[in-house]
Amino acid sequence: MSTGTKRWFARALLAASLFASAAHAQVVVDIVGDVAHATISLDSGSGQTYTADVTIEFDTPVNLTPESLNLTAELFDPNDPAITSRIPAGLVVDPAFPMLVTVEPPVVSWLFRSGFEGGMSPNGSLSFRNAYLLEIHTHHLEYTPGSPYRLLKAPLGGNFDDVTESVLKGSARARGRGGAFSQFIVVADSRLHLLTVLDKLLALDTRLLAAVLSDPLRLDLVGLLAQVHAAVLVPIIGCTSALLPLDDFLSEIAAHAGLDIANLWRAERDLANDAGELESLARTLRFSLLGCAGSP
C-alpha cells in the first residue's frame, strides 16, 4: 500500500423486497490526496452482483479518511415507494442499476485522531471548502450520445434533486457537485429540457435568497439570474443566450467564496456552505441549458 493511501473495508447486510435473501455489500475506499475512490460490489443474494466506482474530488479537505467519509451502499427495489416517492416526475430508476450510495460523515472525537492535524474542523471530523465533485461509474448502464442518465442527490431520507454536471463515456459516468453530503442514485430522465431548466433555475433562485450575503453582492447575483430568466424565454436561442450570464454568476461565486460567501462544510453540520451549494445548483443548470441548446 502506497504512502498516503488508506483502505477501509466495510460489510453490511442489506434487505430489499426485490431480492429473495439478504444481500451483502463490500465497499473498499481509498484516499489519495484530496480524492476519495470507492469500489463497490453488491450481491443481491440471488446470483446477481452489482458493481460501481464512486470518485469524490474535494477542495481543501481536512481529516479526509475512509472512516471520516463513511461511504456506504445498498440495493433497493426500483418500484419501492420509499424510493420512487422521493424522485421527481419524469425520472425513473433503471432496473439494471438499483443502487443507493450514502455519504454521511460522522462527528469524530479528537481522541481517535492519529496525531495533531490543524485545519478547519476542531476535531477529527471531515471538512472541506466549496463544492466536491462526485462521479458514479457503472458498467451496468450503457452510455449513448445525449445519455438520459442523471445523478440525483438527496438529504438523508429526503427528496432527490438532479445535480448532474456531465455524463461521460466509459459505460455510464454521471457526475455532479454538492456543498453538503447526501444520498445518491443514478436514474433515466425523460423530461423536456426547457422544463428542467425552469425547475433548476427556480431552485437556484430559492437557494440564493437563503444565502447570507451583503446587499450589493446579492443584488449583483440576483441581477445575473434575472438575465438568465429573460434569456431562456426567448425562442430557439434562449438556452444558448442564458449561458453567458450563468457563467458570470459562477465566476462571481468563485471570486467571493470564502470572502463574502460562506464556503465551509464540516461534519458538525453547524455551518451553511452557501458557495458550495450555489455552485452545485448553477453547474447542473448549465448542464441542462446545454441540453436545451442541443449540445450533447
* Rounded mean pLDDT, 193-210: 97
Handedness of CA 53, 58, 64, 68 (dihedral sign): negative
Q: Residue 60: pLDDT above 50?
A: yes
CA atoms of 151 and 173, how far apart (whole Å): 9
Q: Give strand pairing partners of 101.
A: 73, 184
How do residues 110-151 score in pLDDT, each as one tens digit? 544 443 344 465 578 999 999 999 999 999 999 999 999 999
* Rounded mean pLDDT, 268-287: 97
How do residues 70-104 score in pLDDT, each as one tens digit? 999 999 999 999 999 999 999 999 999 999 999 99
Overall pTM surpassing 0.95 (yes/no): no
> Nearest to residue 22, comparing CAs of 1, 45, 48?
45
pLDDT at residue 214, as a whole number: 96
Domain ranges of the chain: 6-189, 193-292
Q: Residue 67: pLDDT above 60?
A: yes
pLDDT at residue 121, as a whole number: 57
